[in-house]
Structure 1
Amino acid sequence: MFDLNDVAVFVQVVRHGSFAEAARRLGLPPNTVSRRIQQLESQLGTRLMQRSTRKLTLTSAGQDFHDRCAGLIDGLAAAGQALAAGGQEPSGLVRVAAPADFFDFFPMEWVADFLAEHPLVKLDFVLSDAAADLIAERIDVAFRGGVLRDSGYVGRRLATRSAGLLASPAYIARRGEPKSLQDLAGHDCVTPSTPTGHTTWRLTGPDGVEEEVQVTGRFTGNTAQALRRAALAGLGIAQLPPAMATRDEQAGQLVRVLPQYEYTGRGLNVVYPSRKHLPLAVSAFIGLVMGKLVTASPTVL
């Protein structure tokens, strides 16, 4: 198999009409250029050009070979230049695996701003509650909840603290505001469903001590969005992810209950296959996530 570098040298020699000029353009010694052409002819088993002290003349085989490969060599060079240029600006497709309700707490406006800032980037979101196989499914970035098992991926832990306990102003007006953690036992709380119908909330007070209270309610649901909508409808007090609750709190649609307490949720993590040769587009998207959500130091999972 002949060396493509020798073919590229041959194309340059033909294009510039001499070994000396081709050597100058390529930054190689003239004898190296001559040796490479001889090596290529030896590998092909035919003479490509006739040499004289005044000029070079292609043989019929050399002309045919040049006509066939010159465009391909130029295409390879152009592809390399484009890739190098693209390496200076985020570009290309980024595949993102995330939970099914990801956009319930990650505003689409953040994505729109990111795409406007990086016009050469495309985002492909794969939304599912099943854990994606990053390698098999060609995933660049994945979001996963809870404690991560050792997987060999690079992972960064996002915020685990919730915005606390929230309820609608209408609910507070109707049922009153709880004064202590134990008062929650007498209130309607919207929670994920459990076999017993009771849920234990563990919350950390201002002194850093974790306390617990058993709560019940008349509405349960299996997604954070369902619990949010129930709280907005005045069905009870809820624990919500911070990004989801912040907008409703700022709009006055939800208010804090027992603001001195917080709970530690399952948390969210962003993971990616490797730190090595991370495309700029992927790095930029991870930067978006880190900039919008509370972060911790990266770890290898």
Structure 2
Amino acid sequence: MNAVAVFVQTVKAGSFAAAGRRLDQPANTVSRRVQQLEQQLGVRLLQRSTRKLSLTGAGREFFERCVAGIEDIENAQRSLGEGAEVRGTVRAAVAADFFEFFPIERVRRFLAEHPRLKLEFLLSDAHVDLIEHSIDVAFRAGELEDSGYVARMLGVSQDLILVATPEYLRASGMPADVAALADRDCVIAPTAQGRASWRLLGPDGVETVQVGGRFAANTLLSQVRAVRAGFGIGLVPRVVVREDLHEGRLLRVLPQYRRDGGGGVHAVYPSRRQLPRAVAALTELVEGFFLELETSGACSGAETKSERRSGG
């Protein structure tokens, strides 16, 4: 059991040296324990190189079968020693634009409430391997891939809406209908054709229009910033621009149209067993934010002052 625990810590830490620091053992001792485990099992669990460790196929299967049990034992030990305290390090994977809409002030207050807690955020639009990057929880929006991980829905899907600056709309005119978007500058993701297909749900069902513009960017955050700078009309999540709409910095375009973000917001975990207190606490923090958005109408279409001015 001890050798299995050493192996699990090595995978989670990413190296023998990092695992040794966690276990308070020399790196060569950790390496030797893993080698002994491999000899006992008769299979290679880790591929070793000068740059990093990586799991073999057998190693990944063995880790996924063992990690839950080892974590249960560790959590039981922590529970006896910690009481109800939230402590330790939590590594979370989030979208590159996560802090564009999630208030960083909430994280500050959360850390102030739990002085023995440390948070590490990996911001990327790519869906990283939770095991390889030692991720405790990932917060993901949209349709989930069948990855074999454990997921729990935290909130409903985020509507995407059409917005632009008042200055741009004064110069170019408010589009009268969906078809008119084809003649406007729209902020899109880069495509081989130079144009994107927007499927919008309106009073008469789904309508599709091919749009393009002079500025394209491959991240949502860059697109939102371009829209705020007056580059054109963007199709962006309502939650990201809720303050811009409220303050009148952006206006709704064709407010009777939207696109369903699809899939909702999920917390994704690498293990099926009971969560460490710190991971559960962070999940509750994020879930509470999305529940507030649903209650306030930021995700469901509540009218704002700027929407009323634009005819919404």
- TM superposition score normalised by structure 2: 0.62
Distance in 2 between residues matched to 1:229 and 1:205, nearest whole Å:
26
Q: Equivalent residue for 2:176?
A: 179
Moved more, 225-234 or 157-166: 157-166
Which structure 2 residues correspond to residues 282-297 of structure 1 after superposition, within 5 A? 282-293=279-290
Matched-pair contact (CA < 8 Å) for 1:161–1:265: yes
Deviations 1:80-101 (A, max 9, x none): 8874252413222111112333
Which structure 2 residues correspond to residues 20-99 of structure 1 after superposition, within 5 A? 83-84=79-80, 86-99=82-95
Determine if the alignment matches structure 1 residue 198 to structure 2 residue 195.
Answer: yes
1:163 positional shift: 4.3
Identity of aligned residues (%): 49
1:135 positional shift: 2.5
1:257 positional shift: 0.9
Q: Which amino acid aligns with 2:207?
A: E
Matched-pair contact (CA < 8 Å) for 1:163–1:240: yes
Moved more, 90-99 or 129-138: 129-138
Matched-pair contact (CA < 8 Å) for 2:94–2:122: yes
Question: Any gaps of 5 or more consecutive residues in structure 2?
Answer: 1-75, 295-312
Distance in 1 between residues matched to 2:255 and 2:86, nearest whole Å:
42
Q: Equivalent residue for 1:136?
A: 132
Distance in 2 between residues matched to 1:143 and 1:280, nearest whole Å:
17
CA 1:81/1:232 → structure 2, altered by over 3 Å: closer, same or farther? closer
Matched-pair contact (CA < 8 Å) for 2:189–2:217: yes
Aligned partner (choices 245, 250, 257) of residue 253 of structure 2:
257
- TM superposition score normalised by structure 1: 0.65
SS at match of 1:240: strand
Distance in 2 between residues matched to 1:190 and 1:82, nearest whole Å:
50
Matched-pair contact (CA < 8 Å) for 1:97–1:139: yes
Q: Which amino acid aligns with 2:176?
A: K
Deviations 1:223-275 (A, max 9, x none): 11111111111111101123321122222211111111111236653211235
Q: Which amino acid aligns with 2:196?
A: T
1:289 positional shift: 1.3
Q: Which amino acid aligns with 2:254?
A: L
Deviations 1:84-142 (A, max 9, x none): 25241322211111233332332312211222233332101122333322233321111
Q: How many residues align?
A: 217
Question: Any gaps of 5 or more consecutive residues in structure 1?
Answer: 1-79, 297-301
Aligned partner (choices 157, 162, 166) of residue 160 of structure 1:
157
Matched-pair contact (CA < 8 Å) for 1:97–1:127: yes
Matched-pair contact (CA < 8 Å) for 2:160–2:261: no
Determine if the alignment matches structure 1 residue 101 to structure 2 residue 83.
Answer: no
Q: Equivalent residue for 2:276?
A: 279
Q: Equivalent residue for 1:21?
A: none
SS at match of 1:125: strand
Q: Which amino acid aligns with 2:175?
A: P
1:210 positional shift: 1.6
Which structure 2 residues correspond to residues 3-22 of structure 1 after superposition, within 5 A? none
1:180 positional shift: 1.5
Distance in 1 between residues matched to 2:127 and 2:185, nearest whole Å:
33
SS at match of 2:186: coil
SS at match of 1:147: coil
Distance in 2 between residues matched to 1:101 and 1:161, nearest whole Å:
14
Q: Segments of 4+ in structure 1 off by > 6 A? A: none
1:192 positional shift: 0.7
Distance in 1 between residues matched to 2:122 and 2:229, nearest whole Å:
30
Matched-pair contact (CA < 8 Å) for 1:162–1:239: no
Q: Which has the larger radius of gyration?
A: 1
Determine if the alignment matches structure 1 residue 123 to structure 2 residue 119.
Answer: yes
Q: Which amino acid aligns with 1:169?
A: P
Q: Which amino acid aligns with 1:184?
A: L
